[in-house]
Amino acid sequence: MTCVFCCLSELDELEVPELLDPAAIFKMVCALPDFKAPGPDELPAEVIKAGGLALAQQIAQLFQRIIRLRRVPAAWRGGRLAKVYKGKGNAAECGNSRGLLIGGHLSKVLTGLLAPYVQRAACDILPEAQAG
């Protein structure tokens, strides 16, 4: 089975300067929704947005290091699991709620930037039809 980190090796062969461009990162940061629960890092999207382009340059350096080392920070690999009531039936019954994973905002930005490259690499690896 191929892991996502194996797909990151494809980044060596692709041109990715736009991935690490602070302007592109800032654009992704601005797209984060306001007033959403922060992830395990307790960093709200509004604080990241307030950092502007100066913070986006620092984030670009962080993302460069992540890609170079092929290591995602441990705190970004999961999140906080919250129980959310579906709105039907008895709220005390487990079947009437679902789990919602609340991840960090910076990990969402990195995921959004990497997604097209990982999808392109996955298309080369995975068969056209997947069962299940």
Would you say the pTM of this structure is higher than 0.85? no
CA 49 to chain CA centroid, Å, is 16
pLDDT at 5: 47
Taking the C-alpha atoms of residue 23 and residue 106, their distance in angstroms, rounded to an integer, is 15
Task: Report the DSSP pairing between strands 97-102 and 80-85.
Answer: antiparallel
pLDDT at 30: 94
pLDDT in tens, 54-100: 999 999 999 988 888 888 888 787 777 788 888 888 888 888 888 88
pLDDT at 51: 95
Residue 107, Cβ neighbours under 10 Å: how many?
20
Percentage of residues in the chain with pLDDT exceeding 70? Answer: 83
Percentage of residues in the chain with pLDDT exceeding 90? Answer: 25
**Which runs of E-coded beta strand occur in the chain?**
80-85, 97-102
Average pLDDT, the chain: 80
Taking the C-alpha atoms of residue 97 and residue 88, their distance in angstroms, rounded to an integer, is 9
Q: How confident is the model at residue 47 (pLDDT cuts 50, 70, 90)?
A: very high
